[in-house]
Amino acid sequence: MSWNLRTLRSTHRMSRLRRRRGNFRPKLELLEDRRLLSNVLTYHNNLLRTGANLTETTLTPSNVNADSFGKLIDYHVDGQVYAQPLYMANVPLADGTHNIVFVVTEHDSAYAFDANDPTAGPNGDGILWQKSYIDMANGLTTQNAAELACPVITPEIGITDTPVIDPSSSIMYFVAATEDISDPSNHVFHQQLHALDITTGNDVLPPVEIQAGYLGHGDGGTFLRFNPRQHLERNGLVLANGVLYTTWSSHCDIRPYHGWLIGYDAQSLQQVAVFNTSPNAQEASMWSGAPAIDASGNMFFVTANGSIEGGEFNPPLGIIPTPS
């Protein structure tokens, strides 16, 4: 299986090629021979999700050609990449300032690549840091797609959502999906929110387990519990007005599932709000992309194949233990 992720530095768009049979060697290709001029800190560049780079003034049809425009660097990663790579210029690291491309993988890894120098980094391979969120020695691994009976993302599910970077704090946020297989008779699924220092690759806060509860009888009782096995963080994360939002879809529409929007304080990762799209019904989850926010602070998102009923956007009911 071969993946080529090509980041055109004029538009910052990512084109994901279809998977092909063969050896699995994902790689990141950086194209063009100059430095990026604009940061890309969230899905499709901005909260409106336009994907537009309105500050581009250099690239023209006359200089984007076979003689002056082409692949510059080829980086390899340890798993498939579904999230959009992000970019930030002039990031101060211990060894100096770097322009960095950030990539997350389905093998639960986060990477920081030097955007200009493939010999940078402690090992001289362009990797400034790499962080893994699995621990095979203690039975913590990526979620097994076969065990979930969902062939959409295979063979493993790790970090699927596009992260978001807060430039004021140099923190990157994302959700890592893992599975604890230390007890063969009881595999435990996790979805954890991480806040990572982009200058070191280290978590600046302890990771937070995604848990939520909501009043409603859609699952046959009097309230709903967020289930980390049934739900997938497919959308990009949203950071707005100091609140970090995660949105949730399902694995292959396998019931029971709902659409969840769960908000966290960006400074503490304390849960501050929960919204469920179908509290008295089923389905209606949120898929690829990321919610958009307009100039007035209104959030817009779409749901798929489910009830049009929605709940109230309320503070959380409290952390409710995830059902086994």
What lies within 8 Å, CB to CB, of 195 at 6+ separation is 171, 172, 173, 203, 204, 205, 207, 266, 269
Residue 102: how many other CB atoms lie within 10 Å: 25
- For 15-46, how does the pLDDT look when each residue is reduced to its tens digit (9 = 90+)? 333 333 334 456 666 554 344 458 999 999 99
Question: The pTM is what?
Answer: 0.86
Per-residue pLDDT tens digits for 107-158: 999 999 999 999 999 999 999 999 999 999 999 999 999 999 998 999 999 9
Q: Domain residue spans in the chain?
A: 210-324
> How does residue 11 score in pLDDT terms, banded at 50, 70 and 90?
very low
The kind and range of the H/E element at 146 are: helix 145-148
Give the whole-number percent of the chain exceeding pLDDT 90: 66
Position 312 scores a pLDDT of: 58
Q: Sign of the C-alpha dihedral, residues 252, 253, 259, 262?
A: negative
User: What pLDDT, on a 0 to 100 scale, did the predictor assign at position 28?
Assistant: 66
